[in-house]
Structure 1
Amino acid sequence: MGALSKLCSCNKALACCIGPPGTMSPIGVRLCVGDLSVVIDNGIFQLTLSKPDGIVTGIQYNGVDNLMEVLNREDNRGYWDLVWNAPGGPGTFDVIKGTDFSIILQEEDQVEVSFTRNWDPSLEGRVVPLNIDKRFIVLRGSSGFYTYAIYEHQEGWPDFSMGETRIAYKLRKDKFHYMAISDNRQRIMPMPDDRLPARSQKLAYPEAVLLTNPINPDLQGEVDDKYQYSCEDKDNKVHGWICFDPPIGFWQITPSDEFRTGGPLKQNLTSHVGPTTLAMFSSAHYAGNDLSPNFRNGEYWKKVFGPVFMYLNSSWDGSDPTMLWEDAKVQMLIEVESWPYSFPVSEDFQKSEQRGSVCGRLLVQDRYIDDEDIYANGAYVGLALPGEAGSWQRECKGYQFWTSTDDSGYFFISNILTGDYNLYAWVPGFIGDYKYETTITISSGDVIDLGDLVYNPPRDGPTLWEIGIPDRSAAEFYVPDPNPKYINRLYVNHPDRFRQYGLWERYAELYPDSDLVFTVGESDYTIDWFFAHVTRRAEDNTYKPTTWQIKFQLDSVSQNRTYLLRIALASAALAELQVRINDSAVNPPHFTTGLIGRDNAIARHGIHGLYWLYSVNVQSDWLIEGDNTIYLTQSRSSSPFQGVMYDYIRMEGPSDFD
């Protein structure tokens, strides 16, 4: 170990071991530990962490003394946090502060430090019953730092639930004004001050405000809402902020989804006004309590979240600062290709040689479409903890590993942590979920070839008619233009037009006197089927249930045979969908889902939440030759945000194979 890379135990001034900012240091990574601070410097940037808390209090880079918001308290700059509660108790927001600091590795090429907080019975009721070890890594020559954490609930410890855990970074509002999430989702953002009462108007929930007097007058009349910038985890690899003077980018890169909960379609927050950047690991957003893990009966649990990479870049030649986004995407690809990282010291983070892989081919068998098996092109195939078919979307304690099939249905899932899994899949264009019935045990070095797997999607008879596309999204249906009073200009003429505020109110404006009626063979679901089945606001500002109608013709009815109505839902929020056939008043209805869903996707500008599939047996004596009507009633109506989004509806005739 070189002398200059040894621990500098200075208690007051930390500058003794800090080189000039923004310069490449030939002496590698340097560490300086004081009474209250830990500073790591690799000559490119300087990271300051509070001691023993492990809060990111400062990042010095490219001539800027601190990229973090210096107006905030030190414990409100860069931190790990979680929301937890004892069974039946209120939720507690906890900024995770370590109580002990240690140096895990100190070499010229790498420094890794740890901030731990261990639980003991004297803390019961006051602190979440977890041992938490937060780690930070700085590598030589790397323009950024890595962080990960190990959570452990030991056997016999108190029960609790965890609503959320994440990392939050609060950047300087005088520097970072431009936010980028994807190629077509980036813009100049409002200031945090713009959300204060003097500059904004509160809307239907606290996250949404109308900017009435923003500091930047170009933003006047726009809505700001952090949920407008949510993203599916499969696409949530890099996001962050750009400072134009000097040109600096601050990016959160997540190279793997394995430690996130809920599968590839789970939606999470990204960056938003603050300027704030988040690394979300577990949350109930767009899912509800189904994705809040409950730890009961003193069960043992341990999980590694991360590492994720905080990447810093800058433009030295005066070129367009927005090109920093392009560079961040390149860096993201490098990080993804490097996964799993070889450098984290913790044995709880398995390296590549310790992991295994699974491959195979998925086919679909639907004799009403093709006499031959169909290649499952573009299917999602993944491993998650053992459970029922489709349970992966509600799984929130273990790891998940997902990929997509190629044109011929082949898949390969690499770098799987050792353990027991089920293999799950779903195929765009087909309803339902596939599960490989045999539990798969992954050992180090395994390459398991499952061969050809055949999915038989739910199907009892020929398609009489269908509405929508079975892709777990309501995006193909009619998404209206927003009310001009409540607009986010980013999403005007944008593929994600559903991210506008207040679209739920547009239903009653489009159908002022009666509810939606869809006529099979005449109506077009891209125009005539509203994307969300919502409530209707009455003149007294209460909300009323709504009933949609599907009208269709039958040339004949097969007596004493069963028809099937398949209803796939893309979202449900405190809803109850009732189905009646040719009798709008029959009570009880022919079918009801009961109260379902808490994903809140309608209010939070999502085009889907959790997936629900219902198969309704339709007796032949409910049907008539000629004109028939299905009545779909969303019966719960205490708020504007209750409702469902449909994914796909299909009417099947009796089986040809009986």
Structure 2
Amino acid sequence: MNFAKYFLSFMLHLVVVQGSGPCPGVRLDIQEKHVVMDNGIVQVTLSNPDGIVTAIQYNGIDNLLEIVNQEYDRGYWDLVWDEAEKSGTKGRFDRMEATNFTVIVENDEQVELSFTRIWVPSLEGKLAPLNIDKRFTMLKCSSGFYTYAIFEHLKEWPAFNLDNTRIAFKLRKDKFHYMVIADDRQRFMPLPDDRSSERGQTLAYPEAVLLVNPVEPEFKGEVDDKYLYSSESRYNRVHGWISIDQLVGFWLITPSYEFRSAGPLKQYLTSHVGPTTLSVFHSTHYSGEDLVMKFGTNEPWKKVFGPIFIYLNSLLNRENPLKLWADAKQQMVNEIESWPYAFPASEDFPSSDQRGTVKGRLLVRDRYISDAFISVNGAFVGLAPPGDVGSWQRESKGYQFWTTTDEKGYFSIIDIRSGDYNLYSWVTGYIGDYRYDNVINITSGCEIDVGELVYEPPRDGHTLWEIGIPDRSAAEFYIPAPNPKYINRLYINHPDRFRQYGLWERYVDLYPNEDLVYTVGISDYRKDWFFAQVNRKKDNNTYQGTTWKINFKLDDVNINGTYKLRLALASVHSSLLQVRINNSEANPPLFSSGIIGKENTIARHGIHGLYWLYSIDIQGTLLVQGNNSIFLTQARSTSPFQGIMYDYIRLEGPSSISCTDQN
């Protein structure tokens, strides 16, 4: 850090109150129904023995949590689970109330508390078969507190499904009105009252509410929906709320996403109207049933979720409240640099010296572009439990560790928990996934150099044409302006144009009679390729599947060769993709995906879910010299939210050396 930057950071922290005078040390007060941790800066009250955060006292405010709510509905861990034979993602909600309280550490420097719930066979069918240990830690001179949880399923216990787990804090609606997710995603928010039936109108997707008579008239005509504020795991490090009147900030800081499911691109909820702020550790949002944790009868499992840091800050005087956000971001950096923490008292959380390191270099070779080995800056490289190529994005039971390559392709993954892993990667600009075939065994203190790794992306022939950018997102395609009746003002003229309600309905406005037609060499995917292939709404509130047409010319055709169509999908929801060549009525189609996807990305204002890649052979006899057409049909039509987001489409010519040429 240069001196000027350091000085500015130092001056900023001078105006942020972390307590005055020497820190008095951490005190613990155990009462009949409550337990209180207090370090002189923050006082946290938890129910005994349930382990629910009932009060957070800070900066002269008796309770930052919603005092109107019952104590159990203020700050709590929860999970959603179901029995193994059940399908879907809407299971049983459980606030994880503990039954036993234990003091793990109590001294002047630190207090760590444990609230446990032990599963016994008499609870079968009533509670998820898990031992749960919720930990809360307060450190001396710290402006906040930490929490983490240990889940354990023993081998002889029943099978079950785990859909979701998180911690939620519900703040006082009379104090916290300004929400911050990122530098360019922050705003004053409506009140929870505005979502009531008296003030709001529930829309087609029930989480979305049109504010028709809000308490504050400035919000009239806006759509409120918690999914508008989702964030990818890699960016979901700090978010929260500011009380403008008291100049107090409440922040959730996640220093590592090693314990979250499905890798760095997985999208999670953050903060939303309530005022509510969440740290979600596992969910099926934007993934569907593919990401449900399904445990067998004889499957032992243990996982630590967290720790995360609940950080509080305030200003000395009436300065710009956004200094609280700037300070929270700096605190996030401090927490990341301190990871893995040294203070957790559980033996299930390994310290840095008990972890390992993997380093190496990733190169890319695409022989139809160049014979050279290309070093790629910013390629994602990660360790996840052993599985198939690309399995990391559907993996949820283990830990994942990710980094990106430098400009020469070098990478170093540090602080890896002991265990067996595969090394995975994907590279923007290239389709497909890489997996290093050797299982990597991490042991305490090990340093492993895997050397130079070469990813050869799927390729059978030279590119005849392509649509889009292979980046696992549909963001580069045409995203329409929202219907003026359904807007969120935060996202007007915002880079995330896709974060608006009802964009799927704009398709029929743009294509009222005929479906999309894209002509290679003339059309521009940024303007002429709608961001999602959705259903067409009919006058009687029914829906019709759509067929998109790609027109292209071939100067010559090798009728003995095999062409390859690469379809990379950024997200799919309950869809049936069919591909036909030069005959829109061909039966059967050349390719049919079957019913795929349960990601709900379209309804939830996302731009990607899970990544799907299909490679489809097209025999040269199906093509003609001159004009050709590919027809992409999404054939299911029972909902407005069914559809496909494409990432990238490419047609390759026949291999330069085919079996026919060798005969």
TM-score by structure 2 length? 0.95
Which sits farther off after the overlay, 367-376 or 274-283?
A: 367-376
Whole-Å separation in 1 of the counterparts to 2:167 and 2:657 = 55
Whole-Å separation in 2 of the counterparts to 1:406 and 1:530 = 34
Aligned residues: CA RMSD: 0.9
SS in 2 for 1:499: coil
Tell me if the contact between 1:569 and 1:612 (Cα under 8 Å) persists in the aligned partners.
Answer: yes
SS in 1 for 2:336: helix
**Are residues 1:42 and 2:43 paired?**
no
**Are residues 1:54 and 2:54 paired?**
no
* CA deviation map 1:34-89 (0-9, x unaligned): 00000010000100000000000000001100000000010000000000001234
Tell me if the contact between 1:572 and 1:643 (Cα under 8 Å) persists in the aligned partners.
Answer: yes
Q: 1:116-515 alignment to 2 at 5 Å?
A: 116-515=116-515
Whole-Å separation in 2 of the counterparts to 1:217 and 1:497 = 24
**Are residues 1:65 and 2:68 paired?**
no
Offset, 1:390: 0.1
**1:554 counterpart residue number:** 554
Tell me if the contact between 1:229 and 1:269 (Cα under 8 Å) persists in the aligned partners.
Answer: yes
* CA deviation map 1:427-479 (0-9, x unaligned): 00000000000000000111101110000100000000000000000000000
Whole-Å separation in 1 of the counterparts to 2:38 and 2:515 = 64
Q: 1:558-573 alignment to 2 at 5 Å?
A: 558-573=558-573
Whole-Å separation in 1 of the counterparts to 2:296 and 2:40 = 47
Q: After TM superposition, which residue ranges in structure 1, 4 or more long, deviate above 4 angstroms?
A: 21-25
Whole-Å separation in 2 of the counterparts to 1:26 and 1:317 = 22
* CA deviation map 1:181-208 (0-9, x unaligned): 0000000000000000111111012210
SS in 2 for 1:392: helix
Tell me if the contact between 1:386 and 1:421 (Cα under 8 Å) persists in the aligned partners.
Answer: yes
Structure 2 segments unaligned to the other structure (5+ residues) = 1-17, 659-663
Offset, 1:376: 2.5
SS in 1 for 2:32: coil
User: Which one-letter code corresponds to 2:207 in the other structure?
Assistant: E
Offset, 1:251: 0.2
Offset, 1:369: 1.1
Offset, 1:26: 3.8
Tell me if the contact between 1:566 and 1:649 (Cα under 8 Å) persists in the aligned partners.
Answer: yes
TM-score by structure 1 length? 0.96
Tell me if the contact between 1:482 and 1:501 (Cα under 8 Å) persists in the aligned partners.
Answer: yes
Tell me if the contact between 1:426 and 1:434 (Cα under 8 Å) persists in the aligned partners.
Answer: yes
* CA deviation map 1:456-512 (0-9, x unaligned): 100000000000000000000000000000000000000001000000000000000
Structure 1 residue corresponding to 2:74, chosen from 72, 77, 86 = 77
SS in 1 for 2:218: helix
Whole-Å separation in 2 of the counterparts to 1:325 and 1:522 = 46
Whole-Å separation in 2 of the counterparts to 1:515 and 1:617 = 25
Structure 1 segments unaligned to the other structure (5+ residues) = 1-20
Offset, 1:244: 1.0
Tell me if the contact between 1:22 and 1:63 (Cα under 8 Å) persists in the aligned partners.
Answer: no
Offset, 1:323: 1.6
Q: 1:625-640 alignment to 2 at 5 Å?
A: 625-640=625-640
**Are residues 1:31 and 2:28 paired?**
yes
* CA deviation map 1:157-199 (0-9, x unaligned): 0110000000000000000000000000000000000000111
Offset, 1:137: 0.3
Offset, 1:298: 2.3
Offset, 1:560: 1.1
* CA deviation map 1:2-45 (0-9, x unaligned): xxxxxxxxxxxxxxxxxxx9655643000000000000100001
Whole-Å separation in 2 of the counterparts to 1:24 and 1:403 = 40
User: Which one-letter code corresponds to 2:459 in the other structure?
Assistant: R
Whole-Å separation in 2 of the counterparts to 1:190 and 1:424 = 42
SS in 2 for 1:605: coil
**1:7 counterpart residue number:** none
Whole-Å separation in 2 of the counterparts to 1:290 and 1:141 = 43
SS in 2 for 1:576: strand
Q: 1:79-98 alignment to 2 at 5 Å?
A: 79-89=76-86, 91-98=91-98
Tell me if the contact between 2:23 and 2:140 (Cα under 8 Å) persists in the aligned partners.
Answer: no
Whole-Å separation in 2 of the counterparts to 1:291 and 1:335 = 29
Whole-Å separation in 1 of the counterparts to 2:528 and 2:196 = 40
